[in-house]
Structure 1
Amino acid sequence: MNKVVSKLQDWKDIFIQNIPNIAIALVVLFIAYFASRAMNSIVNKTIGRKISQKSVRDLVSRVASAITILVGLYLAMTVLKFDDTLKTIVSAAGVSGIVVGLALQGTLSNTISGVVLSFRKNLNIGNWIETNGFSGEVIDINLNYFVIKEFDNNMVVIPNKTILESPFKNYSLTTKMRIAIECGVEYGADLEMVEKLTIETIRNNFNQDDIGKKVEFYYTEFADSSINFLCRFWVDSENALEKLKAKSKAIIEIKKAFDKENINIPFPMRTLEFSDNQRLNIKEVTNSEGSVN
């Protein structure tokens, strides 16, 4: 019993001796707490000008806040002279961090990739991109995956790591797109007239002067039943859907212009011929129930 009382008395003396240090440690933790909240707000506002993804902003601000708390905790434990305890905690945290890191390697790589993607100026929400065999509008970039909405309104979810490591085409990086149309006309057509008519049709429907570009027209080959040509022109557009609409309109207008001038666009035809001494005999077979096969 005396040993217990003596031990309690020793703890009491140690506590009284360390009251100033405890007070300082509490003040440090108090300051660290409010500093972490302030850091959270400051970082969120600062990176908010560069990062549009809320999930990424929250992650960065929380990491900054956690670092502030850890610094305050380290200072408080140093004031309380818990150096040995602190070393033990740091060592255990290091080993645990390695184990957790190996277990969550895929998830962490996607998270880090999401943070990196959020800082890339050539890829933002609302851009129209093509990557990994998919094409559509970027709807979301969060900490784990990348979301694209395709033409048919289907959502494609791709891991951030895949996006970061794969090439992609961003249609929204430029305000102009070039459209190429391939077609063919019959061998009896006036080629100079075809060229002139096609260029005029494109100019009348797509103002190339405002864009500062010219309509390009080239005959490309003598095909089996037609002389083929390539026509290229420019449109003001930042996504592939507008490009597709412009191409569709150009095809319609060129077809109308050709029909008006009686310019034929050849198409494959197959003719079946039978000689006079060959006939196709068809025999009707009726089963016992009266149905015809």
Structure 2
Amino acid sequence: MKIAPIILDIEASGLGAHSYPIEIGLALPEDRSYSRLILPEPDWTHWCDEAEAIHHIDRDLLRERGRPAAEIAAELNELLAGQIVYSDGWANDYSWLALLFDAAGSSARFRLENLRSLLREEQLARWHPCKDQITADLAAERHRASTDARILQLAVLRLNEGVMPVAAGHEERLIAQMAELDALTLSDLIAASRGQRELLRLRERHTALICRGGRILAEYLEQHLSAYVALRQSSATHWEIVAINIHPWYRGTGLYRRMLIRTLAHLLSHGAETLTSQVLPGSEATIRFHEKLGFTREADSPEQIRYSIRVEDLARRLRRI
């Protein structure tokens, strides 16, 4: 029996730029767990009612039962010193954990890594069906930190032990969801391109990308695809963002930045040195964000604008915004 990895999950006040952690949970080896509500700092004022409807933690509960950031940071360091801890929502959890330790005036003595680094490529295609099955098996209440962490831990173990069969049609479902999001957000831009880029062609391109070993970083909120980044590797040190899309409901929430942080984590873990990105002409918000991050505009065509950046420069820019 393999030793279970340590999994961390954080519930937060929302997804906005000023969101903060409100609950932290750990799934530890030997079926042990850790869970704490976090007392908000005086300047932690952001609150999202939609997020509260998901995690069912209200501000009165945090004031009554939350523990100070310094206390929780000390407990985490005592439990986890020198160890690697894994998170499924690495981009968000990394930011919230850093905010917690900043408030405590200390530094984490453990390392937070992306949970997906524990899985092989063929296991990633079975990840969401596996989690859903475990949630159903446990009849678990989702969106509480320690429960979510336990589900993630069990999913990793099940996949690594080969118990979960391949979920037929997972790729087809993902491609269909990506096509639906494309239809919602890109129809006007596609029509403006005079038929040179049709939705059917986009769906076919997503299919071809997956078949040729491309990587899709997908973000799900309320079990719906809210964002994706489609990546492919063109050389040992060079990757390309083939497509990136965010559901309109989640624009302006910081989700675009978090998807780029997830992309950056993937690039760093694969030794990437340079990145190019393809953007649809007319996608002004995406163009502005690329230029804000310091991407160099290399080439324009009726179908795409091509940007490039060194990965180390992207990491530096993302830390500043």
TM-score normalised by L of structure 1:
0.23
More strand by share: 2
Q: Which protein shows a greater Rg?
A: 1
